Each structure stands twice: as C-alpha cells, then as structure tokens.
Structure 1
C-alpha cells in the first residue's frame, strides 16, 4: 500500500506540474477523467481484447498507461478537494485502508477482486466516463499488472521529475538536449533512480539533482 509520505510527494508533484502548465489549473475545467478514460482504453489495447486476431499482452505498456492514469486521477482528486493537498492525501489513504472490493456502476455491483485485469480496466474506463474514480479498484489493477505500490510510486515520480527537468532546461523553447553522452534522457533517469532511496522524504529533489549532475556533464 502507498505510504502517507509517498502520497504527499506525488500529490505535491502533481500540483506543481499542473501549475507549470497553468497556474490556475484548479479552475480551468480540464477533463482529467476524460484523459484517464482514454488512457484506460489504450491500456486495454495493450492488453489485447480482440477475439478475431492473435494478440499478446504487452505488460510494460499497460504499466506505463497506469502511471499516466494516476497522474490524471490525482489531478481529479485534488480538484475534488478544492486544492487541499492534505485533505486529498487523507481521503486516498482512508480509501486504501478501507480496502474496498466492489463498486456499483449503472445499478450493478462489480466485485473487482473476482474480475481479471481486462474486465477491471473496462470497469475503470466506464467509471471515468461517468466522472468517477475508485482508488481501491485502481490499486487492484496495478496489482494485476504486476506492479507493487513502490513500483507505481517510483515510476510516477520518475516521469514527473523528468518532465520538470525538461521544462526547466528549455524543452518548450526547443533548446533542451535530449541525448546525453550518447544516451537518451530516459535512460539516464532509470539509472539515476537506482542511485536514490525512494523511501526518503526528499526523494524527488535528490532524483532531480542526480539528473542535473548528469546533464551538466553533457
């Protein structure tokens, strides 16, 4: 289960990234659950669902889609709680501790602990279309996609920090250098993540500084 420290870090990062896009993002009316819906459908495609052709589960791509969904879900939850990060964190933590196993959608009860990954992705997509997001369902999907809570946290923070780093170093202006010492920045990110303690409260800052050090050597 995600810790309170991890939740606080992710919510703070999401709020900061959204402010970088639009300082008034809380009132902008962006369709975060619409975005989560699209990512859910893309995850279904990476899973494979077409009975009329041969398909293979692409688990790494499903996992990447889940990390993207979590970005949009956190944004939605922050808005739901009027921008109060601490309140959003508390509500998420309570939902995780309660450990729900079912949701009611369109008059039908769905026990997501008894459904497979594909069925749960479809259920999540339906909920997002109805402007709803269920945290315990999402956590179950993460588990079914063979990710731990720590995997979700590390991949989420890693993607956020890389996005921050790119923006801070000229990505929008077109001056950012994506290839460092013959390798793409996301490869350096993966290595830098292995050098950091993801349980530390300053994990995000340490990771950013690791990237800065590598970039300056370019």
Structure 2
C-alpha cells in the first residue's frame, strides 16, 4: 500500500511541476496565477454534491450518479495531495496517509437510488458538506490536516470507493490530466466531449475493460480514441 501511496504523491508532484511550474508550493503558477488548493477542494465538493438528486425544484425524479461521485472524489484527492505536499515530503506524507486511509463512514450510500432515499438526502450529503466546510477553514495545523484526510477517506468509504479503486482511478485521471494538458486544455483548444461522452467516462470505460493497463498504454488508448473523435468533428 505504501508503494501505491508514494507513487501517487510522486505523480502529483510531477503533474503540478509540469502544469504550474517549479514554484507551485508557493501557491503561484509559472504564469503568475494564484493557486488556492483549498478552494479547489470545496469547489470540487460542490460539483460532487450535484451528482446527488438534491434539488427540490428541478427534475425531482433524477437518479444518483455514483460513478461521477467517485471521479469527483479522485479530483478532490488531487487537490488534497497537492495541498499537503506543501508541508510534507512525499515520504512523510505517505506515512500519514497510510495511517488514515482505512477511516470508515457510519453512512453508506446506496448504489441504486430509490425514491425513498430522497428522505435521507441530508444524511447522505453530510460527509461531503463536512469536507467542504473543512476546506473553508483557514488553518494549516497538523491536527487540521489529519482531520481533512480522515474526512476524505470517510467520504470515499461512504460510496464504496476503497483504496485500491481510488489508486486505479487516480492513475487513470492523472493520465487524462496529462493528456488534456498535452492537447491544449489550458489554451482552450481541447474537446472534452468525445462521441457524446465526457472524457472522464471514456477513461473509466478503458480502465474497466483493461484492469492491468499501465500509464503509457492508457495514454495511447486515449490518443487513439481522441484522434478519431477530432477527425469526425
């Protein structure tokens, strides 16, 4: 497990350096843009909450998007690691994560949403709103960092996202993030919808069909599908 944790931290460090420049730990990009990792966490948490059918005024028979919740948690994981890497070496942080990764939630969200589950929506959303609230706190103490990690892993447990699945999806999203950057994401030239599907969904489909796929093979598979999509457009 520690090897997987360390690998994710190293990949995140590389991604941050490639995307934002060598001074990203000082909360500024190579282009002079301010970085606020906590804001990233609470904004992604808000997007996650929108995967629940919580809106009483709109599409009241909407279903739960459990797979998107997992992807949003992986996005949050990118930002939590980035935030914590400002204060710890990858090795130090590996030990901290290893101690908290098995944190369990008292709430378990159903994979198949029934209309009666709407009565429990506040209960189901509580852990994600707690994560959002933590990200709004202006505190960087070690107990605070531990609380942020513990709450994140409880949120993962509530939707059945175990550590191995988090690792697999993180590797997939890391490849996708690199792919996006290489294909003009920051410049606004990248197409996120491929054949009427979001690229996140395409990435997940590839992972589910090829559980042992490695970084380079996944990148090449995305390249193959994307190039055909661009040609068709």
TM-score, scaled relative to structure 2: 0.68
Superposed CA deviations along residues 15-39 of structure 1, whole A, max 9, x for unmatched, are 1111122221011252111110111
CA distance in 2, matches of 1:7, 1:55: 39
Pair 1:143-2:142 in alignment:
no
- Looking at structure 2, the residues matched to 40 and 55 of structure 1 have their Cα atoms a distance apart, in angstroms, of 22
Structure 2: distance between partners of 1:5 and 1:210 = 26
CA RMSD, Structure 1 to Structure 2 (Å): 3.3
Q: Residues 88 and 60 of structure 1: is their aligned pair in 2 closer, same or farther, counting only changes over 3 Å?
A: same
Q: Helix, strand or coil: the match of 2:39?
A: helix
Give the alignment of 1:9-158 within 5 angstroms. 9-23=7-21, 24-28=23-27, 30-50=35-55, 54=60, 56=62, 57-81=64-88, 84-96=89-101, 99=103, 113=106, 116-131=123-138, 132-133=144-145, 134-158=148-172
Contact 1:39 1:68 in 2 (8 A): yes
Q: Which runs of 5+ in 2 are unaligned?
A: 29-34, 109-122, 139-143
Deviation track 1:104-130 (CA, whole Å, cap 9, x = no partner) reads xxxxxxxx5369431111111111111
Mapped contact 2:107–2:158 kept (Cα < 8 A) = no
Relative to structure 1, is the Cα distance of residues 38 and 189 closer, same or farther in structure 2, using a 3 angstrom cutoff? closer
Q: C-alpha offsets along residues 143-190 of structure 1, whole Å, 9 cap, x if unaligned?
A: 21232222222222111112212333555567778799x797936644
Report the equivalent of 1:106.
none
SS of 1:113's partner is coil
How far, CA to CA, are the matches of 1:35 and 1:178 in structure 2? 19
CA displacement at 1:72 relative to structure 2: 0.6
Specify whether residues 12 and 209 from structure 1 end up closer, same or farther in structure 2 by C-alpha distance, changes over 3 A only: farther
**Superposition map of 1:174-213 within 5 A:** 186=199, 189-190=203-204, 192-193=206-207, 194-195=209-210, 197=212, 203-208=214-219, 211=222
